[in-house]
Amino acid sequence: MTELHPDLRENVRMLGELLGDSIRKFPGQDCFDLIEEIRAAAKADRRQESGSGQRLEKLLSDLSDDQMLPVTRAFSQFLNLANIAEQYHGIRRKQGHHADMMVESLGDVFQRLLEQGVDQDELHRRVTELSIEFVLTAHPTEVTRRTLILKYDEISNCLGQLDHDDLLPVERNEITTRLRQLISEAWNTDEIRYQRPTAVDEAKWGFAVIENSLWEALPRFLRSLDRSLREATGKGLPIDAAPIRIASWMGGDRDGNPNVTHEVTREVFWLGRWMAADLYLRDIQTLRAELSMWEATDELRAQAGETREPYRAILGQLRERLLKTRDWAEACVNGEPADDSDILFGNEELIRPLQLCYDSLVASGLDEIADGLLLDTLRRVHTFGLPLVKLDIRQEAGRHAEAVAEIVSELGLGDYSSWDETQRQEFLVRELQSRRPLVPRHWNPSDNVREVLDTCAVVAKQTPESLGSYVISMASQPSDVLSVILLLRESGMQHPMRVVPLFETLDDLRGAPATMTALFSVDWYRQYCADRQEVMIGYSDSAKDAGQMMAAWAQYQAQEALTDVAAEYGVHLTLFHGRGGTVGRGGGPANRAILSQPPGSVNGSFRITEQGEMIRFKFGLPKLAEQSLTLYGTAVIEATLAPPPAPEKPWRDMMDWLTERSLQAYREVVRENPDFVPYFRQATPEQALGKLALGSRPARRKPTGGVESLRAIPWIFAWTQMRMMLPSWLGSDVALKEAAEAGHEPILRDMMARWPFFKTYVDMLEMVLAKADLRIASYYEETLVEPAYKPLGQDLRERLAGCIRHVKTLKQQDELLLDEPVFAHSLRVRNPYTDPLHYLQAELLRRDREGEGQGKVPEQVERALKVTMAGIAAGMRNTG
């Protein structure tokens, strides 16, 4: 059995002891002793010692309401500290304890590609043209408060300081004292938010990720890429290459979120400008201190004027403009008169003086100086620009159709909503080719339509580099895309913006190729998009709609077909992957996911959402962010230059056979069983999730409604909390069972051996099943579910057990995660801390529901319940 690395084990032990010291001080020794007794009982229960289960349950059920909170906080806080230790260990060892952090170096990947026959020039061209865009989303899965994240980051920094072998005893003591302070601060800080963050708060959090981590990590990654490329091909990375870009949905994603208005979006654009100006000012101040030399070209001297320090003069001029830009943005945010004279507006205005300094230093033989901070700053400008992030706009297709319909009605041109697709397209293309305005003057549209038009007007005022994509959810026809372009143009848009249909449900994915074929057949549109198209694939809703196995296969087939359609029309396609953090939302190790995409679908460009707690786990610390950038970069390069083989026909037939059965089995339970929704509501904390102030967006698309109205994140969150993990395996259980009974296991093993897509699917299923826990799921049901619905729970648990058996048989192993021993051990280490939280949560849910029935829930019960949700999320390393 794999054990934790001694260094990691020592850090976990040290952090745990320091937490124990804080608990002894407050609430006191009695509370500490009780927590230790519970932990010992949980460990004994996992070892299945006689009577230990009853002892643990009795200890927890006997707790008073007042005792519940410190006990839940203690176990939750320990899990957060264990995560910090693991996360830091992944940076220190260059090899993380999560499969996603097994990072192969850029140089090793380049060398392997050259050995496989890739031409040096082709490798250089592909790397310099690389386009990977991370889209930070505010999907509400980050449970941890910002104030605690800052303390956790400093704890990680302290662990790094302790790693030095040459510390004096007094230095080691100082660091340990600081750790003790930080853990005491965290223990004595309320970990639960009581107010939902606004959409602007979320955007500020996204900017903070750039300020605190990516600002430093990105130039370091690009230096590493440049060095590895030189070693492999003899040529480096051009200064203006921007293989990585950062975009955001925070403040732009209005789909189902009434809190994101045009005013919010406008404020987020201004805040991005303020933050960018502030960050560049810091760089410029440091550069002015460094670039004190006098050797310079005539061109630079001509702009610097008479001075002994021409570089400082040029940078001084730039500093003044950045100060004016920051002041202008701040005035705009505060609603004050804003002077926009001499501010920096386009990226080129910021690049020009920096490039002038760089070229002068190189021409003067001062290459070493040029390639220092100045080069890093130039690369930051080419990556982040003056907007800092590219803001995406997302809205549902029906809102645009409603706006066009009102305009058409106002002009007396007919009933747009009753027109067929051909009529709509003809009208939209005709108007797009017309030079006259369409929107009537002195017109008073409905509130919904006014908001759509106001949003378009805000977007139209931005520079091209400020804008990411305009994503249309529930898109199904070319008119959905054309209507957005028309509304933007009518609002004053002067340049083309990427308009991206999002295909989410099973039917959407199946219809996507026909939709894009119809769109590419519109000559006007082909000219507009300049033969470049982005298409978004939704993972969350397709899995919720059809089950994980069918969704994964439908996504794969849609990407294949879209790649073929784009090739037929000579269009360069970028697929935008709307993945979440969990397997049920398309999550899992990023490199495996990328390397298992259909051949040709990763053609040098890749766009992906990063949400909630996954932003912190992947990009929260500079070294961690650098690892993540390396991991994505190597995977996209390899998938482009050495794509996986296309699936053989027998494999396709087998996937069709499997998914036909998985889809039917999944929908029979989720859609057709009348007991399912009541069981779901009673057995999981779904109804209590609203108590957690996770994000600005409501948990439901509609205030009322069943599972179909629930967003994919709380749907996954609820099942994860009680360890049933149902969305990720339901349907697969039946498909694998019937495959075994039909004697199909030999072909499934062949698919696992030679087809990355299928192997990745089975590995992700195995990972989810390892997180499932039949005993804990049973305890929730026993405590919370009415007798009438318990037979369904018994059936689901039997199916889960069967799915585990079938995966072990398929992989020919006696236990799960034999290929991932470190991850398996990490789960085992967490169990004595997550188990009490699960038992406590079930008991707290029972008390909470009793209290609601009596019209009064004790405050301590509600707070403790929220803490269990956050703690379990930390223990599972994801929420939704």
Q: How confident is the model at residue 830 (pLDDT cuts 50, 70, 90)?
A: confident
Rounded average pLDDT over 601-614? 90
840: which 2 tokens? 């406590």
SS3 state at 140 = coil
Residue 296 has pLDDT above 70, yes or no: yes
768 close to 728: Cβ distance less than 8 angstroms: yes
pLDDT at 693: 60
SS3 state at 390 = strand
What distance in Å separates the CA atoms of residue 179 and residue 163, rounded to the nearest whole number?
Answer: 14
Q: Which amino acid is present at 279?
A: L
825 catalytic per annotation:
no
535 close to 573: Cβ distance less than 8 angstroms: yes
Phi, psi of 364 (to 5 degrees): -90, 5
Question: Considering Cα of 525, then 531, then 536, then 537, what sign does the dihedral take?
Answer: positive
Cα radius of gyration rounded to whole Å, the chain: 28
Residue 515 has pLDDT above 90, yes or no: yes
Question: Considering Cα of 27, then 31, then 33, then 35, what sign does the dihedral take?
Answer: negative
Rounded average pLDDT over 459-473? 97
What distance in Å separates the CA atoms of residue 40 and residue 46, rounded to the nearest whole number?
Answer: 10
Phi, psi of 577 (to 5 degrees): -95, 110
Residue 446 buriedness (CB in 10 A; 0-12 / 13-18 / 19+)? exposed
Torsion angle defined by CA atoms of residues 614, 616, 617 and 623, in that order, rounded to the nearest 10 degrees: 140
pLDDT at 358: 98
Within 10 angstroms of residue 370's Cβ, the number of other Cβ atoms is 21
SS3 state at 739 = helix
Q: Tell me the CA distances in angstroms from 42 to 603, 815, 833, one per residue in order.
A: 50, 22, 8
766 close to 807: Cβ distance less than 8 angstroms: yes
Rounded average pLDDT over 475-502? 96
Residue 1 has pLDDT above 60, yes or no: no
Torsion angle defined by CA atoms of residues 682, 732, 778 and 66, in that order, rounded to the nearest 10 degrees: -60
pLDDT at 91: 81
Q: Which residues pair with 160 in a beta bridge?
A: none
Phi, psi of 386 (to 5 degrees): -75, -25
What distance in Å separates the CA atoms of residue 508 and residue 542, rounded to the nearest whole number?
Answer: 9
What distance in Å separates the CA atoms of residue 386 and residue 281, rounded to the nearest whole number?
Answer: 12
pLDDT at 584: 44
Q: Which amino acid is present at 608?
A: I
Among the listed ranges 21-35, 199-213, 638-652, which one has the minimum average pLDDT value? 199-213
Ranges of beta strands (E only) in 594-659 are 605-611
Residue 409 has pLDDT above 50, yes or no: yes
Rounded average pLDDT over 556-573? 97
The active-site residue out of 139, 262, 390, 771 is 139
What distance in Å separates the CA atoms of residue 47 and residue 431, rounded to the nearest whole number?
Answer: 72
Rounded average pLDDT over 64-73? 94
Among the listed ranges 272-286, 432-446, 707-721, 817-831, which one has the minimum average pLDDT value? 707-721
What distance in Å separates the CA atoms of residue 848 and residue 713, rounded to the nearest whole number?
Answer: 23
581 close to 139: Cβ distance less than 8 angstroms: no
For the chain, how long is the longest CA-to-CA vector? Answer: 89
503 close to 537: Cβ distance less than 8 angstroms: yes
What distance in Å separates the CA atoms of residue 242 and residue 379, rounded to the nearest whole number?
Answer: 7
759 catalytic per annotation:
no
pLDDT at 86: 87
SS3 state at 311 = helix
The active-site residue out of 400, 544, 744, 838 is 544
pLDDT at 39: 93
Among the listed ranges 52-56, 188-192, 481-485, 694-698, which one has the minimum average pLDDT value? 694-698
Share of residues in the chain with pLDDT > 70 (%): 94
What distance in Å separates the CA atoms of residue 680 and residue 678, rounded to the nearest whole number?
Answer: 5
400: which 2 tokens? 């645009």
Mean pLDDT value across the chain = 92
Which of these, 623, 640, 594, 604, lies nearest to 221 by C-alpha position? Answer: 623
65: which 2 tokens? 């309401």
